[in-house]
Amino acid sequence: MAVTVDFDAEELWLAEDPANAARPGVLSQARYGARTAVPQLLEVFESLDIPATFFVCGGDAVRHPEILESVVAHGHEIGHHGYTHRSPHLMSREEEESELVRGIEALRPIAGEVHGYRSPSWDISANTLDLLVAHGFSYASNMMDAVRPYTHPEHELVEIPVHWSLDDAPHFWFDATSWNKTMRSAREVAEVWTEETEAIHAAGGLVTLTVHPQIIGRPGRLRMLTEFLTRVRADSGVWFARGREIADAARRAAVPA
Ligand SMILES: [Zn+2]
């Protein structure tokens, strides 16, 4: 199991709408995630001895260096999540590369070498994989075409696949602009995650769980996450690992696409 945390603080809201920069109420959700939820997530992971991978936008790293330093101090991996939270498919190749480089420069002082990349919203462009190889990345985590890691056929890059079902956002995201989506209960989400996790485990695959501090960090959901991870942790047949370790293992196993 890969427990992945998309840090997504202010950059998420600024990408949704640049006018959010002048909306302290909207941005308070980001602050809750960074300052309140992340320390609690670190406690949960520590109590269960679970290593995690945090994907972080460069802009959020500049905004919250002390939070990310504590993530690193707890032994978790930091991966690249854009500089802003804008999708690469909306950018020219030059703009995408400049975001990638700025992000690396912002993360490196805190995280050291950055090995993994996950785009905002798992939405990559036709240039993304080329750029990741050119900038020395070891793995990417954006695709929904498998339930186990694989090596991209034309790129020296391991893919750690994802899926919306194992993400917190599709179940809990509430859009105050349109009000056209309701939130699910934590119990329902635990059911979805458990069904999917058990079936992937039975198939010998990789469960990539994706959570966002400002979403999963609400008290009732955090309780659910703790109970869910406690149950998975109790199975000695599950290997919990950071993205880089999974990529290394996939390379050793040379799993073809
Ligand atoms: Zn994100």
pLDDT at 174: 82
Note the helical H segments in 162-218. 169-172, 186-202, 213-216
When computed from its CA atoms, the radius of gyration of the chain, rounded to whole angstroms, is: 17
Residues 167 and 136: beta-carbon distance below 8 Å: no
pLDDT at 215: 97
Ligand 1 geometric centre to CA of 146 (Å): 21
Q: Go through the domains of the chain in sequence order and give each one's CATH number.
A: 2-253 (3.20.20.370)
Q: Name the residue type at position 184.
A: R
Neighbours of ion ligand 1 (CB under 5 A): 6, 8, 120
Ligand 1 geometric centre to CA of 142 (Å): 11
The rounded distance, in Å, linking the Cα atoms of 39 and 22 is 26
Q: Name the residue type at position 247.
A: A
User: Considering the entire predicted model, what is its pTM?
Assistant: 0.96
Mean pLDDT per 10-residue interval, the chain, length 257 residues: 98 94 95 97 98 98 97 98 96 98 98 97 95 98 97 96 96 82 93 97 96 98 98 95 97 70
How is residue 37 written in tokens? 């939820």
- Helix (H) / strand (E) element for 233: namely helix 219-233
Ligand 1 geometric centre to CA of 186 (Å): 20
pLDDT at 178: 77
Ligand 1 geometric centre to CA of 12 (Å): 7
Ligand 1 geometric centre to CA of 205 (Å): 24
Helical pair 38-48 and 219-233, crossing angle rounded to 10 deg: 20
Ligand 1 geometric centre to CA of 254 (Å): 29
CA 191 from centroid of its chain's CA atoms: 21
Handedness of CA 88, 146, 198, 42 (dihedral sign): negative
